[in-house]
């Protein structure tokens, strides 16, 4: 599930006065079919019953209205590159002013990454909303995101070399977003060393300073974009106090206070034209001329600070509530919720992983899926699809449709296993355990499905998929109770099959 409402993309609706729509989306796995496209959300009812039709599920009227529709990425149970539900938005422009919006992040920072393939070029995004590559959209980074300014500009420069142009003219940053400082990142690494020494294990953070920055925010000692752009003398005083606090906790921590302040002052002038009051900006986007709004999230549900596999989680909410708190969007503006899930499960870093395959199957999935973390370069752990996790994510987020990505990675398998339930001490449990020790002990009950042993990368319609692949998709729908609306079978955007 998405971790930060990263990008909202809105496009002007032709003619009618239909209300704005919001879709919160998580970009599919790095190097594979991307969700960076203008989604046309359609309402549907949750599937029920035990038998699933062989044909695509028909479009059904939605039980809940609302101008905002949310697409949460659930392509993996644990994302390696997600932030939290911060808030990034992207708003396509019309001739006179902004007519479309794409918030790119509602929470988190550059601890996550999305690889997006457009016209054969790969772009890697961490802080920038993925919608920034759309020249007709304005991107917005919301208040829930924590921003490391050196990292933001370094990321932009790397993507400029790949063809990204005029991004600073299309990016808006909330004045309420908190700042990640270099010493936050240094402390992140020191804390990992302490955990390893004291407990014999660490959390496996990206060392991007996300946790320490949210700690400063919770302690009410953090500094925001609005502070940087206001009285710089006051900002400098508070920065020095914050730096000294961290040095008192970590005596070996060295901070070039004056050097960092000089650098921050330079960044302040570079971002000043991009900064807006984020709450007012989103209000105008939602209540102005009709738009289509796309919110991009990052981390998955199992990395959520409250609902994830604590303590092996990120430091903010990656679930649907992050859209409201990370962008300032009222709950009544959220309608349909779309989840993105891979056809198998991966995890980066430490923590329980019930369906992990530490064998040739795991190696095959890792190799064929190119499962490496975009931010850290770490190899991802791989395993069979875990429907207990997907059902749990659905309980928290209330998905109304799913996007199933990387189906093509399973093309070479003669049979495919799917985790359908857990047993603990010999008894089946209907819930996803909160306790990590308990989760480590669960016994996964699998169902084995026939593989299709055929290349699906050329499929562009439901009818092009082998019957066994269709059955796999319907099996997922039946067990989760949510219809699959999109199926990804490759890297390009054209490789995303829309079923209804």
Encode burial over 301-335: b for 16+ CB neighbours within 10 A, e otherwise.
Answer: bbbbbebbbeebbbbbbbbbbbbbbbbbbeeebbb
User: Pick from 370, 321, 362, 323: which is nearest to 345 by CA?
Assistant: 362
Q: H or E stretch including 262? A: helix 257-271
Burial of 118 (0-12, 13-18, 19+ CB in 10 A): middle
User: Pick from 307, 256, 61, 267: which is nearest to 168 by CA?
Assistant: 267
Torsion sign, CA atoms 300, 466, 37, 81: positive
Catalytic annotation present for 217: yes
Give phi and psi for 494, each to the nearest 5. Answer: -70, -15
Catalytic residue among 136, 207, 208, 217: 217
User: Pick from 274, 28, 238, 315: which is nearest to 153 by CA?
Assistant: 274
**Cα torsion at 178, 221, 312, 149 (round to 10°)?**
30
Query: How far apart are the C-alpha atoms of 481 and 475, rounded to whole Å?
Result: 10
- Which residues form the catalytic set? 217
């Amino acid at each position: 599930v998405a971790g930060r409402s990263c990008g909202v993309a809105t496009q002007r609706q032709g003619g009618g006065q239909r209300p704005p729509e919001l879709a919160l989306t998580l970009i599919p796995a790095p190097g594979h079919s991307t969700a960076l496209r203008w989604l046309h959300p359609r309402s549907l009812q949750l599937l029920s019953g035990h038998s699933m039709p062989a044909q695509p599920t028909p479009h059904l009227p939605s039980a809940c209205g609302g101008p905002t529709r949310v697409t949460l990425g659930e392509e993996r149970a644990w994302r390696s590159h997600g932030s939290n539900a911060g808030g990034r938005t992207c708003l396509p422009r019309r001739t006179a002013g902004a007519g479309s919006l794409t918030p790119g992040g509602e929470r988190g920072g550059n601890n996550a990454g999305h690889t997006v393939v457009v016209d054969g070029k790969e772009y890697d995004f961490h802080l920038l909303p993925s919608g920034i590559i759309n020249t007709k959209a304005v991107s917005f980074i919301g208040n829930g995101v924590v921003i490391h300014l050196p990292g933001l500009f370094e990321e932009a420069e790397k993507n400029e070399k790949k063809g990204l142009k005029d991004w600073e003219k299309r990016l808006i940053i909330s004045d309420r977003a908190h700042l990640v400082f270099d010493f936050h990142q240094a402390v992140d690494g020191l804390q990992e060393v302490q955990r390893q020494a004291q407990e014999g294990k660490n959390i496996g953070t990206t060392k991007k300073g996300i946790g320490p920055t949210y700690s400063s925010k919770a302690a009410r000692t953090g500094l925001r974009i609005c502070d940087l752009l206001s009285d710089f003398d006051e900002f400098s005083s508070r920065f020095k106090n914050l730096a000294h606090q961290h040095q008192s906790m970590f005596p070996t921590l060295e901070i070039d206070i004056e050097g960092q302040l000089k650098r921050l002052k330079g960044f302040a002038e570079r971002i000043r034209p991009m900064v807006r009051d984020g709450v007012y900006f989103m209000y105008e986007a939602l209540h102005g001329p009709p738009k289509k709004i796309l919110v991009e999230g990052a981390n998955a549900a199992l990395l959520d600070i409250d609902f994830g596999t604590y303590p092996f989680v990120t430091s903010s909410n990656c679930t649907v509530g992050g859209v409201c708190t990370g962008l300032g969007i009222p709950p009544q503006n959220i309608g349909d919720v779309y989840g993105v899930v891979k056809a198998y499960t991966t995890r980066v870093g430490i923590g329980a992983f019930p369906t992990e395959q530490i064998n040739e199957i795991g190696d095959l999935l890792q190799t064929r899926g190119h499962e490496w973390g975009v931010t850290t370069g770490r190899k991802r752990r791989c395993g069979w699809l875990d429907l207990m996790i997907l059902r749990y994510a659905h309980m928290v987020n209330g998905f109304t449709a799913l996007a199933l990505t990387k189906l093509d990675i399973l093309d070479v398998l003669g049979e495919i296993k799917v985790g359908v339930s857990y047993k603990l001490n010999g008894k089946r449990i209907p819930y996803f355990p909160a306790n990590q020790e308990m989760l480590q002990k669960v016994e996964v009950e699998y169902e084995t499905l026939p593989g299709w042993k055929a290349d699906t990368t050329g499929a562009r319609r439901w009818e092009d998929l082998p019957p066994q692949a269709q059955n796999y998709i319907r099996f997922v729908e039946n067990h989760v109770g949510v219809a699959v609306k999109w199926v990804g079978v490759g890297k390009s955007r054209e490789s995303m099959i829309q079923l209804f």
